[in-house]
Amino acid sequence: MTGILIAGTSSDAGKSLMVTGLCRVAARRGIDVAPYKAQNMSNNSMVCADGAEIGRAQYLQAHAARLEPTSAMNPVLLKPGTDRRSFVVLRGRPGGTLEAGEYTTGRRALALAAWEAYDELAGAHDLVICEGAGSPAEINLRVGDYTNMGLALAKDLPVVLVGDIDRGGVLASIYGTWALLDDADRSHLAGYLINKFRGDDSILAPGLEEITRRSGLPCFGVLPYVHGVWLDGEDALEVGRWRHEGDRTDEHALRIAVVRFPRISNATDVDALAGEPGVDVQVTTNPATCAAADVVVLPGSRSTVSDLAWMRESGIADVISRRAAEHRTVVGICGGYQMLSELILDPDGEEAAPGSRIEGLGLLPVEVDFSAAKTLALSQGSWNGIPVGGYEIHHGSCVVTGDAEPFLDGCRAGSVWGTMWHGAFESDAFRRAWLEAAAASAGIDWHADRSAPGYAARREQMIDTLADAVENHLDVDALFGLAR
């Protein structure tokens, strides 16, 4: 065995899901397996034990493979800062920027680093399950590609296509992908998988048979829609799955509104809140939803200054200020915390014109300075005697300049809380105690169900549920047998 590449007919077709499930199946079988994605474009990331930053999806896949995550599993991470610029994370560390015009021409160095990381994993493990990026049918990006067919040709990998039938057009997307590739690329296609099927397999079978007849590609299985499976998503579209706009789903639920910034980052902080029994998470851009909620969360942002301006334009900033005046709970995480500050200094032009002084919402006595180097770190602390862990991914520093209560290396003033730590709500005891305090502040008789599974246990259960479905519905033996 060496490696196989799982490519999608589109973004969010199920590549991450399939790699996660296959990694756990392989680990169960005693195969020394590792996940790999040459390039990830995402503002959802995680810090490894060695301080390297990688995409959350590969971090989860490493757990599925029962490995310690490393930068080799996601050697290139592109973090969109604007519509035309991405910040490059190379082998877990800041690596400059990539402009839109350089996307097909300026990536040779990134390709070499990515392929070197693949060789590192292939030399250390029996099987490497690779995840493609976007779709190999994006032939406008084929020149310079090192994540899909470019990777397959460079490392002689068999490629399995994944199509999402839930969004429609799956037969056309599979056949169209095959048809658009040139002969050299097409020779590496080994077959395809169907994701998120609901209904009677016999109705789908004639279509699959025709696709196989026309393309020569075998179908390795049809994965049903698996309920109860959530993944650390690559992009902010994932947060929409928790949205319950309007009335609360349970009149006794604790309502949490999470502001969906245009450049939302590390939205996975919401996962632990959304999974707590009796909590209704609404991801929103609606000021009225923020006003009605018991708790408002300002999550991370890749562009704090521009998202702060957006929040003012949308009217949400006024809602946040009124909530603070009414002693109603608001919590800011990383970029959201920075927005709650009194002043943001940007001497080097990290997000604004060099030398800019931007007024924050003024709800916490904090001054933000973007001149400091990027921080990548795991963090440990406590709140009210409860141990809490988290991680930091940010530019700049926050200095408390006035009277405020310390809170997870951030601070609290009245009903407004702020921390630079992502992942703190994954600590079960802290999350539940903090939510109970927030509920009490809102005058709600809500108490956490401490008999419910914790975040880490739910994540393991999710991975195993997914792996069970992969074992039962896909030809895993044939898929692993492709590796060469």
69 three-class SS: coil
What does the alpha-carbon distance between residue 264 and residue 297 come to, in Å, rounded to a whole number? 12
Number of CB atoms found within 10 A of residue 282's CB: 23
What does the alpha-carbon distance between residue 109 and residue 241 come to, in Å, rounded to a whole number? 36
What does the alpha-carbon distance between residue 223 and residue 193 come to, in Å, rounded to a whole number? 8
428 three-class SS: helix
For 115-138, letters b (16+ CB in 10 Å) and e give bebbebbbeebebbbbbbbbbbbe
C-alpha torsion angle, residues 77, 82, 85, 87 (rounded to 10): -30
What does the alpha-carbon distance between residue 366 and residue 374 come to, in Å, rounded to a whole number? 19
135, 8 contact by CB (below 8 A) = yes
Candidate list 23, 130, 334, 411, residue with the active-site label = 334
Q: What angle do CA 325, 336, 314 make, to 5 degrees?
A: 70
Candidate list 125, 395, 422, 473, residue with the active-site label = 422
Number of CB atoms found within 10 A of residue 352's CB: 18
The H or E element spanning position 203 is: helix 201-215
What does the alpha-carbon distance between residue 390 and residue 142 come to, in Å, rounded to a whole number? 38
Largest CA distance in the chain: 72
The H or E element spanning position 56 is: helix 56-64
Pairing of strands 85-90, 76-80: antiparallel
What does the alpha-carbon distance between residue 256 and residue 113 come to, in Å, rounded to a whole number? 42
- Give the end-to-end CA distance of the chain in Å, rounded to a whole number: 5
User: Could you confirm whether 395 is annotated as catalytic?
Assistant: no
What does the alpha-carbon distance between residue 139 and residue 142 come to, in Å, rounded to a whole number? 5
325 three-class SS: helix
Find where tokens 């990027």 sit: 374
What does the alpha-carbon distance between residue 33 and residue 215 come to, in Å, rounded to a whole number? 30
For 391-428, letters b (16+ CB in 10 Å) and e give bbbbbbebebeeebeebbbbbbbbbbbbbbbbbbbbbb
Find where tokens 């601070």 sit: 411
What does the alpha-carbon distance between residue 113 and residue 100 come to, in Å, rounded to a whole number? 20
User: Could you confirm whether 290 is annotated as catalytic?
Assistant: no
Nearest to 60 by CA among 42, 79, 80: 42
Residues noted as catalytic: 334, 422
